[in-house]
Structure 1
Amino acid sequence: MKYILELILTTVIIFFVWNFLKRMFFKKIFKFPQPRNDENVTQQKTSKNLDSKIHWDAETVDYEEVKEPKEK
């Protein structure tokens, strides 16, 4: 029973240590350049340009007032 618990404990510790070391070193060694996503950048720029050109005020928005019927 003691050996089984030791085995389980050591495997858990080795698992976490291995993941930590893998996260530390393999990202630095095998870091590949990611392709830049230019669509998102241009889309954000165009939306900012549109927002800067449009000036919203209360008169540009049409709304309909809803009245609740009175209950008797």
Structure 2
Amino acid sequence: MSKCSVDPAFAELVITENVIRRTAEAKAGWRLHGHHMIGWISERRPYEKIVGLAEAMTAILGEFPASVWTGNTGD
């Protein structure tokens, strides 16, 4: 998993061991774009797995520390 962000402090807060583990368990990829989280899986019929992907993305977002929502990255 790569940490690519215009704000390295934000990336360090968000990409934790738990986030990496949950992402790997979900066999999914995701990225943040503005106020949106975009997720994907590389299966042939992803529409049958969309609820599972949404649940996995919700769990991943749940791992983000509260400070990412307030904009306080500790700097």
If the length of structure 2 is used for normalisation, what is the TM-score?
0.26
If the length of structure 1 is used for normalisation, what is the TM-score?
0.27
More strand by share: 2
Q: Using CA pairs under 8 Å that are at least 6 residues apart, name the structure with larger relative contact order, 1 or 2.
A: 2
More helix by share: 1
- Higher gyration radius (CA): 1
